[in-house]
Chain A
Amino acid sequence: MPDTIQLDIARYSPERDESPSFQSYTVPLRKDWVVLDALNYIKDKIDGSVTFRWSCRMGVCGSCGMMVNGEPKLTCATFLSSYAPGPARVEPLRYFPVVRDLVVEMSDFMSKFRAVKPWLVRKEEKPISQGEYLQTPQQLENYKQFSMCINCTLCYAACPVYGLDPFFVGPAAIAMAQRYNLDSRDQGSEERMEILAQHEGIWGCTFVGECTKACPKNVDPAGSIQQYKLTAAMHWFKSLLMPKASR
Chain B
Amino acid sequence: MSAPTTRSVPPHTPYHPRWYRTHVSTYWWMQQWSYFRFVLRELTSLGVAYSCVILLYFIRALSVGPQAYEALERRLASPVLVLLSFISLLLVLFHTITWFSLSASAMAVRVGGKRIPGLFITASNYVAWLVISGLLAWFLLR
| Chain A residues engaging chain B, CB cutoff 8 angstroms | 12, 14-20, 70, 94-95, 97-100, 105, 138, 141-142, 160, 163-164, 206-210, 212-213, 220, 222-223, 226-227, 229-230
Chain A: minimal CB distance from B28 (Å) = 6
Q: Which of B19, B28, B38 has the most CB of A within 10 A?
A: B19
Contact between B32 and A208 (Cβ–Cβ < 8 Å)? Answer: no
Which residues of chain B come closer than 8 Å to A212, judged between CB atoms?
105
Min CB distance B108 to A, Å, is 5
For the complex, count residues of B whose C-beta is within 8 A of A: 26
Q: Which A residues are in CB contact (< 8 Å) with B22?
A: 94-95, 98
User: For residues 108 through 139 of chain B, which have their beta carbon under 8 Å from a beta carbon of chain A?
Assistant: 108, 110, 113-115
Query: What would be 14 A-B contacts, judged by CB atoms less than 8 Å apart?
Result: A16-B9, A17-B20, A20-B20, A70-B32, A97-B19, A97-B20, A160-B29, A164-B24, A208-B34, A209-B38, A210-B34, A222-B105, A226-B106, A230-B107
> Are A207 and B102 CB-contacts (below 8 A) given A18-B10, A160-B29?
yes
Q: Check if B12 sits within 8 Å of A14, measured CB to CB.
A: yes
Residues on B close to A: CB < 8 A?
A: 9-10, 12, 17-22, 24, 28-29, 32, 34-35, 38, 42, 102, 105-108, 110, 113-115
Contacts of B113 in A (CB 8 A): 138, 141
Residue from A206, A209, A222 having most chain B Cβ neighbours under 10 A: A209
Known: A163-B28, A220-B105, A223-B108. A213 touches B34 (CB 8 A): yes
Which residue of A has the minimal Cβ distance to B38?
A208
B9 touches A164 (CB 8 A): no
* A140 CB, min distance to chain B CBs, angstroms: 11
Tell me whether A209 and B20 are in contact in the complex, defined as CB-CB below 8 angstroms, given that A15-B12, A223-B108, A230-B107 are known contacts. Answer: no
B20 close to A227 (CB less than 8 A):
no
Output the nearest chain A residue to B19 by Cβ-Cβ distance: A97
Determine the distance from Cα of A14 to Cα of B20 in the docked complex, in whole angstroms.
8
Question: In the assembly, what is the distance between CA of A163 and CA of B25, in Å?
Answer: 10
Q: Which residues of A contact B102 (CB under 8 A)?
A: 207, 209, 226
Question: Is A227 a contact of B108 with CB atoms below 8 Å?
Answer: yes
Q: Which residues of B contact A100 (CB under 8 A)?
A: 17
- Give me 16 other A-B pairs in contact (C-beta within 8 A), A14-B19, A15-B18, A207-B102 excluded: A15-B12, A16-B9, A98-B22, A99-B17, A105-B19, A160-B28, A208-B38, A210-B34, A210-B35, A222-B105, A223-B105, A223-B108, A227-B106, A227-B108, A229-B106, A230-B106
- Contact: A14 with B18, CB < 8 Å? yes
Residue of A at shortest CB range from B104? A223
Shortest beta-carbon distance, A66 to chain B, in Å?
Answer: 14
| Complex: A152 Cα to B9 Cα, angstroms | 33
Min CB distance, B74 to chain A, in Å?
A: 40
Establish whether residues A15 and B32, one from each chain, have CB atoms under 8 Å apart when the complex forms: no
Name the CB-closest residue of B to A104: B19
With A70-B32, A160-B35, A213-B34 in contact, is A97–B105 under 8 Å at CB?
no
B66 CB → nearest A CB, Å: 41
